[in-house]
Structure 1
Amino acid sequence: MPQLHRHLLQLRQATLLRLIALTATFFVVCTAISFLYLHDTGDAVLDAGVNPSAPTGEFVNSTCFTDLDVLRAYTNASAVEYGRLEVAVVSTSNFSNFSESLDLSIPAFHPIRLDTETTREGVPEGKCSTSLTIPGPVVSPPVNASHLLFGVATSIERLHDSLDAFAHWAAGTGAHILAVVDEGGSLRIRTEERATLLGLRLTIIEKWDEEVLDRYFSLVRIFLEHRDASTQWAVLIDDDTFFPSMCNLVDRLASYDSTRPQYIGALSEDMWHMYLAGHIAYGGAGVFLSLPIVERLAEVFDDCYLFKGAGDGMIGQCIYAHTDTKLTWDRHLYQLDLRGDVSGFYESGRPLPLSLHHWKSWHHANVAALGKVAAVCGAECLLRRWRLADGWYLVNGYSIIQYSRQVRDPAAMEQTWDESKYEGSDPFAYSLGPLRGRDPDKQSFRLKEAIADGPDRVRQIYLHERGETDAPRVLEVVWKRAS
């Protein structure tokens, strides 16, 4: 009996040891599996561009994120509602034109807080896929505009502030910009360095002893001093003159004979200004002079210098007094003598203007941001008005809008700007008609910024302020070249 008892005891001990060994083995295996799983998951997270130690939703390398600092720059709200669209453009060699509509709808919005220290908010991958793919032109390198001289009379501060906008149309083209300023000071060096960095061919000339209008007229002689064998046109501009497409401008000028006296420009859109200043080329739209007319103005410079007055008026008066050349009004140049809300002009869906003016004074349009998307879809897509599937309109580079009522005549421009002082009827119809009344209940996302992520991708930030009680809405439209 004692032997049987000892045998049973030994059997229990052996069984217990086996159980302990099995338990230890199971624990080791589970630990190893967990380690491998976490290691693989961590690698996958890092490969996706997510920093595991970063706040929730913050991305490090991924392109699928919202830049919160950009949003904070344009709204003081503690939170916004955010939506995103992505359009891929396929470069097409036989491209003719964009369609009138896009098979897109305004996306769903989700809240994003801005009152945090986070700089980037991750966007779910499902919302980062391409929304639509469309054909587009093959984007060409900058056109050769070395036969154009541009002259501007301004201050060094305003010149420096205008360089980004100038770069859109002049960078890399060989166009020569001659800037006459009162004094350069320390800012002159920074302006010249910045211009070189942007690819601008800029010459700064200081004339501290002359008034700005005198400096404007002095450009007549300066043009001749800086012309070369290739020069065909001298163009007087303001520091807030903007050319959406240098290629279109060069093509348009090629339709005129530069070997003959030419005086080309635009009238004011407002009959009141026409009443005050007369039938001249208004300077902000660009005053285009062929070399023969510049040479004639230089011959009678001293006589015309006595006229005194607005610089563009002195040019016109001198031409009319000493030549038989008359103004050619090019209807695609715009002085934009419009004050207040000029959205109706930009949202009209009409052909892309050759020039714009007053964009940083009489009204505000971020033209430098407007032009960036041309790197992806060409100048043909700038200010292109597409009707979306849900009735909204995308005005590329300016706004995304929904009218409160049906637009019976899409060709009519919405008259959103301030009234004229002119007492006659229809003071804007002769230049901008047909016109229609303002839609006071129109909903609008306005372009605030555009960011180029390399040469093939541009992110546009549109903002809709909805009043004091509702959070602003941000719609980010990403344009990219299809691979």
Structure 2
Amino acid sequence: MKTTTIMTSSSPHRPPITVTTALRSSLPFLFFSSLLLYLLYSSKLLIYPPSNHQYNPKINYQHPNLTTTNRIITGYNTELKHIAFCIAASSKLWDSRKEYIKLWWRPGETRGTVWLDNKVKIKNNESETLPDIQISQKTSRLPYTNRQGHRSAIRISRIVSEALRLGLEGVRWFVMGDDDTVFVVENVVRVLNKYNHNQFYYIGSSSESHFQNIFLSYSMAYGGAGFAISYPLVKELAKMQDRCIKRYPGLYGSDDRMQACMSELNVPLTKEPGFHQTDVYGNILGLLSGHPVTPFVSLHHFDVIDPIFPGMTRVESVKHLLESAKYDSASVSQQSICYDPKRKWSILVSWGFAVQIMRGILSPRELEIPSHTFINWYKVLDFSAYTFNTRPVTGHDPCQTPFVFYINSTRYDESRRMTVGVYGVHRQRHPRCRWKMESPEKIHTVVVLKHEDPDRWLRAPRKDCCRVLPSRKEGVMYLWVGHCGENEVIEV
């Protein structure tokens, strides 16, 4: 056996020790140490035998409503009352943007402030449906040299520190967002419950545009999507933020200034992909129906994207989506995949939003990829500049263009003790298809049955399974969506 000579560092006069000699001298010690550990471990097993109990998630089958349906249980017991929202707003856009805030704000439950650059008029009947309004402090003493941006970025970057000085009691988290950001507040709570609010946390997500992230930073939480900062971190930030801002006059926006200060505090971004910057244009059907397996937290840029539901205004469409969230906020926009093997159809369910039926069998690996229904923030780079994979809307053949069914209504069925979602077909032209198989155009309504599942994010992330149910009504398809059974696999 070849030996390697190692010089000890304790004394240059001590003779060299070989690896084989060292090993031989330590063998008795290693043997008796291993024996002792084994005996201790065996005795522990005798006292505390391994449990065969299998976790059985509790599902709430009660009738959903705003106060009880979204109970959230985690080790940190953070509730909505522990979160202060900091909304960056502009007086010029206030009349239109305030309508988005009204959709998700819950008077008496949500806490926080809208921060404006100038005073605005509030109608008497609006004061109870909106957060408190504050005017940001002047920032003329702080330098701004970026020619492409606007110095309001400095004002917006300081609103979290200004919110801290309001002295709100019991706050654990400050959540920042824009006036055109819509939050699913139960899912904000679910995400923040995963983290210890006594530690330094900076939580958010990146842009959907690869080049946005290159120009700004992949390590930055985008302010339009919204991001969360724990209370002790905001306290530290407030002490140094103005000094930090002075060191970065050339940065573009408020969120990259915030990330620069976080870097100086040695705090990295903790990514939560449920915060959506929505740096795209057009129809976001593909983006929402390809939602990652994570809580749907926020959505931004409603003035840029098309209305989520055809035939509605932007405000109406957001309100319509949030109606589904009342029944199962933990599952909104979550993806399920199933097949109708007799008719050779592939079915993609985005719960509370849309159902898509396609001719032919597309693998789950293909279907879970967002379909390219939208346009990139940099239109010239549309097909090459996303932070995720995309697939063509038509699949491998024009015959696979999906038939889309948008949510019409959601209700709770007492007899079934299930939530019932009714999805109506979106009439549009489809390419001529010569495939000799039944066409989904015969279906005008899809009914999706589902149990409410507020605790789904306390388990390991997994998509719900989907099954096609028998139907006696012509033109109506029934689907069941829920926990996958034992050994249940998506295969045809």
TM-score (normalizing by structure 2): 0.58
Instruction: Tell me, yes or no, if structure 1 residue 347 matches structure 2 residue 289.
Output: yes
Instruction: Tell me, yes or no, if structure 1 residue 266 matches structure 2 residue 205.
Output: yes
Instruction: Tell me, yes or no, if structure 1 residue 362 matches structure 2 residue 300.
Output: no
Amino acid at match of 2:385: P
For 1:75-474, list aligned pairs within 5 A.
Answer: 139=64, 140-141=68-69, 143=71, 144-155=79-90, 156-167=94-105, 170=106, 174-187=109-122, 189-195=124-130, 202-207=131-136, 212-244=152-184, 246-278=185-217, 279-306=219-246, 307-308=248-249, 309-320=252-263, 322-348=264-290, 350-358=292-300, 360-363=302-305, 364-365=307-308, 366-377=317-328, 379-380=330-331, 382-385=333-336, 387=338, 389=340, 391=345, 392-408=347-363, 409=365, 410-419=367-376, 421=378, 427-428=385-386, 431-433=387-389, 435-439=390-394, 442-445=401-404, 447=406, 462=424, 464-467=426-429
Following TM superposition, by how much is the alpha carbon of 1:347 offset from its aligned partner in structure 2, in angstroms?
A: 1.4
**Paired residues of 1:376 and 1:457 also in contact (CA < 8 A):** yes
Following TM superposition, by how much is the alpha carbon of 1:275 offset from its aligned partner in structure 2, in angstroms?
A: 1.4
Aligned to 1:260, the other structure's residue is in SS state coil
Structure 1 partner of 2:147:
none
Following TM superposition, by how much is the alpha carbon of 1:289 offset from its aligned partner in structure 2, in angstroms?
A: 0.9
Aligned to 1:194, the other structure's residue is in SS state coil
Shift in CA distance, 221/378, structure 1 to aligned 2, threshold 3 Å: closer
Aligned to 2:126, the other structure's residue is in SS state helix
Amino acid at match of 1:239: D
**Paired residues of 2:225 and 2:299 also in contact (CA < 8 A):** yes
Amino acid at match of 1:152: I
Amino acid at match of 1:161: E
Following TM superposition, by how much is the alpha carbon of 1:157 offset from its aligned partner in structure 2, in angstroms?
A: 1.8
Distance between the aligned counterparts of 1:419 and 1:209, measured in 2?
A: 35
**Paired residues of 2:101 and 2:182 also in contact (CA < 8 A):** no
Distance between the aligned counterparts of 1:288 and 1:445, measured in 2?
A: 35
Aligned to 1:285, the other structure's residue is in SS state coil
Distance between the aligned counterparts of 2:179 and 2:168, measured in 1?
A: 24
TM-score (normalizing by structure 1): 0.58
**Paired residues of 1:370 and 1:382 also in contact (CA < 8 A):** no
Shift in CA distance, 378/314, structure 1 to aligned 2, threshold 3 Å: closer
Structure 1 partner of 2:467:
none
Shift in CA distance, 163/287, structure 1 to aligned 2, threshold 3 Å: closer
Larger radius of gyration: 1
Amino acid at match of 2:288: Y
More helix by share: 1
Following TM superposition, by how much is the alpha carbon of 1:336 offset from its aligned partner in structure 2, in angstroms?
A: 2.5
Q: Please report the RMSD computed on the Cα atoms of aligned residues, expressed in angstroms.
A: 4.2
Shift in CA distance, 208/403, structure 1 to aligned 2, threshold 3 Å: farther
Amino acid at match of 1:185: V
Residues 207-255 of structure 1 deviation map (CA, whole Å, 9 limit, x = unaligned): 49676423312313322123434111111112233333x3343233222
Distance between the aligned counterparts of 1:452 and 1:190, measured in 2?
A: 29
Following TM superposition, by how much is the alpha carbon of 1:304 offset from its aligned partner in structure 2, in angstroms?
A: 3.2
Following TM superposition, by how much is the alpha carbon of 1:266 offset from its aligned partner in structure 2, in angstroms?
A: 0.8
| Structure of greater relative contact order (alpha carbons < 8 Å, 6+ residues apart) | 1
Count of residues in Structure 1 that have an aligned counterpart in Structure 2: 339
Distance between the aligned counterparts of 1:234 and 1:161, measured in 2?
A: 22
Distance between the aligned counterparts of 1:304 and 1:235, measured in 2?
A: 21
Distance between the aligned counterparts of 1:229 and 1:347, measured in 2?
A: 39
Distance between the aligned counterparts of 1:354 and 1:376, measured in 2?
A: 14
Distance between the aligned counterparts of 1:311 and 1:319, measured in 2?
A: 12
Following TM superposition, by how much is the alpha carbon of 1:280 offset from its aligned partner in structure 2, in angstroms?
A: 0.9
Residues 66-121 of structure 1 deviation map (CA, whole Å, 9 limit, x = unaligned): xxxxxxxxxxxxxxxxxxxxxxxxxxxx7668xxxxxxxxxxxxxxxxxxxxxxxx
Aligned to 1:205, the other structure's residue is in SS state strand
Aligned to 1:226, the other structure's residue is in SS state coil
Distance between the aligned counterparts of 2:154 and 2:444, measured in 1?
A: 46
**Paired residues of 2:206 and 2:221 also in contact (CA < 8 A):** yes
Amino acid at match of 1:247: E
Q: Give unmatched runs, 5+ long, in structure 2.
A: 1-55, 72-78, 140-150, 309-316, 431-440, 453-492
Shift in CA distance, 207/376, structure 1 to aligned 2, threshold 3 Å: closer
**Paired residues of 1:179 and 1:205 also in contact (CA < 8 A):** yes
**Paired residues of 1:271 and 1:427 also in contact (CA < 8 A):** yes
Distance between the aligned counterparts of 1:285 and 1:370, measured in 2?
A: 17
**Paired residues of 2:410 and 2:421 also in contact (CA < 8 A):** yes
**Paired residues of 1:372 and 1:458 also in contact (CA < 8 A):** no
Shift in CA distance, 377/303, structure 1 to aligned 2, threshold 3 Å: closer
